[in-house]
Amino acid sequence: MLLKKPWGVIKAITLNQPCTVKLITVEPGQETSLHYHKLRDDVWVILDDGLEVTIGDEVYYPREGDEFTVPAERKHKIRSLGKRGRVLEIDIGFTSEDDTFRISDPYGRETKEREEFPLE
User: The pTM is what?
Assistant: 0.83
Note the pLDDT tens digit of each residue in 15-44.
766 888 999 999 999 999 999 999 999 999
Q: Dihedral through CA 85, CA 45, CA 89, CA 1, nearest 10?
A: 60
**What is the set of domains in the chain, with CATH numbers?**
2-87 (2.60.120.10)
Length of the chain, please?
Answer: 120
* Angstrom distance (rounded) from CA 49 to CA 72: 25
- Burial, 4: exposed, middle or buried (Cβ in 10 Å; 0-12, 13-18, 19+)? exposed
Q: What is the pLDDT of residue 117?
A: 52
In angstroms and rounded to an integer, the radius of gyration of the C-alpha atoms of the chain is 13
